[in-house]
Amino acid sequence: MSLILGSHISLNQKSKYLLGVVEETICNGANCFMIFTGPPQNVKRVDTSLFYKEEALELAKQHNIDFSNCVVHAPYVFNLAGLDTDGYIVNILQSEIERTVSLGIKYFVVHPGSFRESKDEGIDNIVKNILEVFRRTSHLDYFFCLETMAGKRNQIGACLEDLQLIFSKCNWDPKLALCLDTCHLHDSGYDLSKLEEFKKKLSNLFGGLERVKVIHLGDSMNSIGARKDRHANYGLGHIGWETILKWAYDDYFSSLPIIVETPYWKKQVKSKRSKETREILVSPYKHEISLLRNKKWEPIPNKDCLPIYDKNLKTTN
């Protein structure tokens, strides 16, 4: 079974945008990726015609990377559960979706947002915003994937029933889909070790599993139901390696794009000009993807790197 594995990769001018993304994907031993089409904290954007798309597609083809399996994540500059009085939210979403489709990518992941006064009001705002986005983008081929959330403060999406209500109020539009984040699900209170039980619940709520289009696969630093959203590296969290592996190789989930979502490692490096050391962050993705492909947990190969995790946890052997 060949998994569709990838990670978030930074899209930037220095690395020639999409071409650099594909190059890093190959280096990681991956066959998909997730990107933001620009900085996630603002709406400054470079035209996608400058993204070296054709060169990236050619390189991707040589390495069996299909852009239709890749993912774009919406920026963090709006609250989908907010009242969109001036069109700010919908305008951003429309633009980002158009950029996503122009790159040949069809999975667009969005956080449901947080309510202010009441959850019901927040859900109604989400529905209004989504329906307007769908009206404006009805001619485009993509999936609007609502991500499951950890339940921090007033977040919507920590409860599957809330997401089902949104789907229902959106008349089960075929564009509407789910992105399951394992860390978020665990932190919101779902026991992921009971996978068949979880899938049955999911299937009952959404009329099958077909609405699930993307998996964000990460462990959690927190005990179940902590509602904190702190990701952990594989084998170093409360979800556990065996459950992570079970999810990756599930009969249905294994056919979906699986985005590795684990924290960067810490590394102490000495300055070339002085004896002082400083801390840098090192990508774990090549190692984590290798663990999933080999179905075997191993410690970090670089002894100079340290994971960011709860020291009271026992590591997987």
**Which residue ranges make up the annotated binding site for Zn(2+)?**
73, 111, 147, 181, 184, 216, 229, 231, 261
Cα separations in angstroms, 231 against 3, 139, 215, 257, 286: 22, 37, 14, 19, 17
Report the distance separating Cα 149 and Cα 180, nearest Å: 9
Report the distance separating Cα 282 and Cα 259, nearest Å: 18
CB-side exposure of 85: number of CA atoms within 13 Å? 0
Instruction: State which amino acid sits at residue 99.
Output: R
* Residue-by-residue DSSP string for the chain: ---EEEEB----TTTTTHHHHHHHHHHTT-S--EE-SS-TTS-----GGGS-HHHHHHHHHHTT--GGG-EEEPPSS--TTS--SSSHHHHHHHHHHHHHHHTT--EEEE---B-SS-HHHHHHHHHHHHHHHHHHTTTS--EEEEEP----TTBSSSSHHHHHHHHHHTTT-TTEEEEEEHHHHHHHT--TT-HHHHHHHHHHHHTSSTTEEEEEE-EESS-TT-----EE-TTSSSS-HHHHHHHHT-TTGGGSEEEE--PPEEEEEE-SSSS-EEEEEE--HHHHHHHHHHT-----S-TTEE--S-TTSPPP-
Report the distance separating Cα 84 and Cα 126, nearest Å: 10
User: How crowded is residue 193: how many other Cβ atoms within 10 Å of its Cβ?
Assistant: 15
User: What residues form the annotated binding site?
Assistant: 73, 111, 147, 181, 184, 216, 229, 231, 261
